[in-house]
Structure 1
Amino acid sequence: MKAYDLIVIGTGAAGLTAAFTALGFGKRVLVVEKDRPGGECTWSGCVPSKALINQAKAIHTARQFADVPVDGAAVLERVRGVSERVYLDETPEVLEKAGADYLNGTARFIDAHHIEVDGQQIEGRKFILATGSRPMVPPIDGLDSVDYLTNESVFQQTELPQSVLVLGGGVISMELAQAMNRLGVTVTIVEMAPEVLPREEPEFAAALRERLQGEGVRFEVGTKAVEVTASDAGTTLVAEREGQTLEFSAERILVALGRKANVENLGLENAGVQVDRGLVLNKQLRTTAKNIYACGDVAGPYLLSHMANYQGKIAAMNAILPLRRSVNYDHVSWAIFTDPEFARAGLTEAEAREHYGDSIRVYHYDMAEKLDRAKTKAGDGGRIKLIISSRGKVLGAHILAERAGELIAEVQVLKTLGLNFGKLQGVIHPYPTYADSLRQMSQQVFLDNIFLHPVVRFARKLVGK
């Protein structure tokens, strides 16, 4: 029976990071994957969605000057080609060249130190679960009777549909809805909450919805899906809103209502791994079995590729090194790759007020009004909302603008390092850039830091200013 220092089950962003981290420390590593390496990010998430978004944006731009036909089959083929190119850095051969053993098959625990993969028993000193997640499919009457799409199947289509109903108003919905609409698909989003992106700053969620509406995406918010049936149009959704029954029809239906951790059929009970709606983990990402760790979507709570990378390093080092590290979720940022992009780091204003009361300071910035770079491109507006503490430390930032995902990184550096946002005004930024908006905001924060200082306020009061 073969024995390994570490066995990694799953090869998405988290599993690959964990495996390469352990290999870097000279450990004997086995990687087990039931499909192909790369996971959701490569095959049905970050990579193909951005490839689709980029093609849709290029066509949307071109149509401002000419009538451009869309070959949906060719678009989807190019999207899959991008995934295949990314996969070249994640193949079994790449893993084996780095020093890992690779085994394609389904793993199941026999006990805490042994797994079985398609009849072969293997021993591991430590294990990392990186089995990812899958689309959550709600128990809507009739849904299982139609050929619905999810993010796992939408990129495998050979043709784009003429029309699509999207269930859910979250990140995947907004990205794919805008992209498909720009490619000529009639898109309707049905969201049960009163607004899309319900966890984000309401004013930013509303602004992004209005932008997509302006491009032709139809939104039905505050609307609950009740039943799905096959129809002459393809699919018909029966829904309820404010006591009224509504019907929406489209060729296809796309389910984008969240994710569910892959914890089934692993024999976790044989290994002493407790599951309570998800894996039970401590701050070191260890399960209830002392030699089994987890990372990525299966671990949660943030189902983001960059968080999977972060957790993968910590889980691997905790599994193979004597010094234990804890995860820290105080500084998490993310981006939604619509056009314009939306990016966030930290708290919303409501969350900040709940934690810190009225001592917080809130700043707003309108790029169309204040930023020269935005003025050089027709229609290139953007907005920033910055929430800081009374001492100038970043509590939250929200950006809806061109390249917002890049802009938030600069804020994230200041936030993570605990630096006063006013310090940014002393950093020379290239001109004209979108990032100069942050420098301009920091000047106001810098001045307020001075004028709001207790000594300065007292002195101003004495002189009557």
Structure 2
Amino acid sequence: MKATRWIVIALLLVVGTLFFTLDLNQYLNLHYLQQRQQDFAALYAEHPWQVRAAYFAMYLLVAALSLPGAVLLTLAGGAIFGFFWGLLLVSFASSMGATVSFWVARWLLRDTVQTRFAIPLKEINAGVERAGALYLLSLRLIPVVPFFLINLGMGLTSINSWTFYWVSQLGMLVGTAAFVNAGIQLGSLRSLSDAASPALLGSLALLGLLPLVVRRIVRHMERLRVLARWRSVRPARFDRNLVVIGAGSGGLVAAYIAAAVKAKVTLVEAKVMGGDCLNYGCVPSKALIRSAKAAHQMRRARDYGLSAAPVVDFKAVMQRVQQVIADIAPHDSVARYTDLGVDVVQGYARITNPWTVEIQRTDGSRQTLSTRSIVIAAGAQPVVPALPGLEEVGYLTSDTLWEHLATLDVLPKRWVVLGGGPIGCELSQAFARLGADVIQVEMAPRLLLREDEEVSAVVQASLEADGVQVLTSHQALRCERLGDAKVLVLSHHGQEVRMPFDQLLCAVGRKARLTGYGLEALGIATDKTIITDDTLQTVYPNIYAAGDVAGPYQFTHVASHQAWYAAVNALFGDFKRFRVNYQAIPQASFTDPEVARVGLNEQEATAQGIAYEVTRYVLDDLDRAIADGEARGFVKVLTVPGKDRILGATIVGAQAAELLAEYVLAMQHGLGLNKILGTVHTYPTMAEANKYAAGQWRRAHQPQRLLQWVERFHAWRRG
């Protein structure tokens, strides 16, 4: 904290100390005011403007310094100046004084508080950004909430000064008028409770609820406005309580929840049940990665005192991948969901109005359903870059890769993988371990750009050790085909680089599926995803979105998480709606070593201006990692400075995604590193790394002074 701030704090403490030391509070009590009322009235009659100015300055000072006595000064305003002048002076002096107090709190404390408590304050900041004026108005209308606390609290938020001032001026006006009016009858008051009777305070408290009631009314009117042009087509009765579009992770969970609460629900899927994750993403890629890892371990057999060499039967590898999909498919099958009470329809769904969904069935027939609510869980699809010559040379995406590989007996020898994100890294490593020559191209200066630099470095080193040629800071310019030869032309520091290949995989990201569902005709706003509020509601109060189509994350587990909120809000939102909780969202890249993270990493904390401490435990010290030949990687935990509260955790190493669960649980339920340290972990396991990381933090925060006294105590005990 800067020296000027310490000086201001010292001055405030001096003023406060003098106020109470000199017992100035004796002049701000009802008895003194009643005794001197005639003297003040005479002085006012003789010097009206001077008295008004002095009173205004005194009131402003008391309000600005949050000193006691504002109620007495308000009563004095009515007693000395009458209602009009009393109300005018008090209203402006109190609002201006409150604003000064607001400024002081902001200048002295906001940056420190926002930095230190950034995570818990995130939701409060979002609420202030969304409706700060409304909340402030409600607080100002309720006089039982100490105004100085409101001034100080609001100073720590992002609400702007002008909004704070005019809302305070307006919000305090009613209460000010009541107390100024009470001051006119000052002589008849026996105590302050006569001026602030329970009935008056209760009435003002009810008045404080008015803005919130008005907000609900405005929200209801907005809903009516949005639905107005569709009023003539609203059904009198509905065929369904809920129609869910898309049977990926989000759609399956939404339909399951609706059926579980006995709602009549239809689930519409155009392609295959289970969506991208089961058929094109998580499941086949992890099956392939497991086979590739087995081949890698066989090559390292001598490290374990064995002798073996892998012979890759790629056709058998792909048969295993397909079998894994087939074994998991019943979990997401039509039969299972039909047994659960879900009406499953295979076909293409289009929303024609807020209550009607038209379905073009895959058998050619059509079906129209009316429904009270709709959940759109259409998922995402691979991004294909606008690269000249790409269509001519041919390419694969994560959606088309698996069907193509299933037709091959041998893995293509030369691969180019475009993209340095999790999908690109995972598949590059898997192909290389299965015997391919892989070139991975990334336009950014490093892989896994959202992770810390040291994480990217570990992953790149591992990929290169497996034979992947990693080309960062290389931009793809075009593809060329000369007979049977295929070439990717890259730009690197202004120079063209030519890379021949047999097969090209585009893994540069995924985008939400937004077309074909009638969103444009309904006026449902979209950007890169469907625009929703924090309850996943679209512009229509009965239409929700979940999963990749809604963002902001593209993870299967987040789609399932959002689906609960979308389904519950869609079915019961007229009574209660729930905001989605993104407090502890885990993510993982299944490279070897794995990378798993929850919460903030260092680059995010720095970018957001959040103060943090780093605790780091390296896995080459862990007994189980040494025994397994996996002694590489680390656990890195970010905490609030001086506290054990976890801001985020990154794990790089074997089973990182499994180990992360302990930190996800801790962050979700507010548990600190001391709780992890105090938990018994099985020996020898990889999970002990979490305990040892917590132990590192504990050792760095030992009470040194206390330990010195304990050392003296033990020396005394030895005699």
Question: Which category of TM-score, normalised to the shorter sequence, fits these structures?
Answer: over 0.9
Match of 2:312 among 57, 63, 70: 70
User: What's the % identity of the aligned pairs?
Assistant: 37
CA distance, structure 2, for counterparts of residue 152 and residue 305 of structure 1: 15
User: 1:449: Cα distance to partner?
Assistant: 4.0
Deviation string, structure 1 residues 22-77 (Cα, Å, up to 9, x no partner): 11100000011101110000001110001001111112112333232211122112
Please tell me the residue identity of whatever aligns with 1:272. Answer: G
Q: Which residue of 2 aligns with 1:147?
A: 394
Pair 444,60 (structure 1): closer, same or farther in 2 beyond 3 Å = closer
Please tell me the residue identity of whatever aligns with 1:435. Answer: A
Q: Does 1:324 align with 2:571?
A: no
Q: Does 1:15 align with 2:273?
A: no
Match of 2:477 among 208, 226, 229: 226
User: 1:161: Cα distance to partner?
Assistant: 1.1
Match of 1:43 among 279, 289, 298: 279
Pair 121,419 (structure 1): closer, same or farther in 2 beyond 3 Å = same
**Of Structure 1 and Structure 2, which has the larger fraction of its residues in helix?**
2
- Count of residues paired in the alignment: 456
Pair 104,63 (structure 1): closer, same or farther in 2 beyond 3 Å = same
CA distance, structure 1, for counterparts of residue 323 and residue 382 of structure 2: 23
Q: For 2:652, what is the secondary structure of its paired residue? A: strand
Q: How does 1:60-459 map to 2 (within 5 A)?
A: 60-64=296-300, 65-118=307-360, 119-156=366-403, 157=405, 158-159=407-408, 160-231=411-482, 234-321=485-572, 322-355=575-608, 357=610, 359-368=611-620, 370-378=621-629, 380-390=631-641, 391-451=643-703
Please tell me the residue identity of whatever aligns with 1:46. Answer: C
In the superposition, the TM-score normalised over structure 1's length comes to 0.94
CA distance, structure 2, for counterparts of residue 398 and residue 350 of structure 1: 12
Q: Which residue of 1 aligns with 2:46?
A: none
Query: 1 or 2 for the larger relative contact order (CA 8 Å, sep ≥6)?
Result: 1
- Say if 1:192 and 1:222, in contact at 8 Å, map to a contact too: yes
Please tell me the residue identity of whatever aligns with 1:376. Answer: A
Q: Which runs of 5+ in 1 are unaligned?
A: 461-465
User: 1:379: Cα distance to partner?
Assistant: 5.1
- Say if 1:346 and 1:396, in contact at 8 Å, map to a contact too: yes
- Say if 2:630 and 2:653, in contact at 8 Å, map to a contact too: no
In the superposition, the TM-score normalised over structure 2's length comes to 0.61
CA distance, structure 1, for counterparts of residue 470 and residue 313 of structure 2: 26
Deviation string, structure 1 residues 156-199 (Cα, Å, up to 9, x no partner): 12222112100000000111111111111111100000000011
Q: For 1:282, what is the secondary structure of its paired residue? A: coil
Deviation string, structure 1 residues 343-375 (Cα, Å, up to 9, x no partner): 011111132234455x4211111111x211122
**Could you say which structure has the larger radius of gyration?**
2
Q: Which residue of 2 aligns with 1:463?
A: none
- Say if 2:617 and 2:696, in contact at 8 Å, map to a contact too: no
Q: Which runs of 5+ in 2 are unaligned?
A: 1-236, 301-306, 361-365, 711-719
User: 1:458: Cα distance to partner?
Assistant: 13
CA distance, structure 1, for counterparts of residue 473 and residue 483 of structure 2: 26
CA distance, structure 2, for counterparts of residue 379 and residue 342 of structure 1: 14
Please tell me the residue identity of whatever aligns with 2:644. Answer: G
CA distance, structure 1, for counterparts of residue 697 and residue 484 of structure 2: 55
The two structures, once aligned, show a CA RMSD in angstroms of 2.0
- Say if 1:161 and 1:252, in contact at 8 Å, map to a contact too: yes
Deviation string, structure 1 residues 258-277 (Cα, Å, up to 9, x no partner): 00100101111333322223
**Of Structure 1 and Structure 2, which has the larger fraction of its residues in strand?**
1
Deviates more, 1:98-107 or 1:155-164: 155-164
Please tell me the residue identity of whatever aligns with 2:514. Answer: V
Q: Which residue of 1 aligns with 2:288?
A: 52
Q: Does 1:26 align with 2:262?
A: yes
Pair 231,75 (structure 1): closer, same or farther in 2 beyond 3 Å = farther
User: 1:448: Cα distance to partner?
Assistant: 3.6
- Say if 2:249 and 2:556, in contact at 8 Å, map to a contact too: yes
Deviation string, structure 1 residues 197-216 (Cα, Å, up to 9, x no partner): 01101101111110110110
Deviation string, structure 1 residues 217-255 (Cα, Å, up to 9, x no partner): 110100000101224565311110100001111100000
Pair 261,459 (structure 1): closer, same or farther in 2 beyond 3 Å = farther
User: 1:135: Cα distance to partner?
Assistant: 0.1
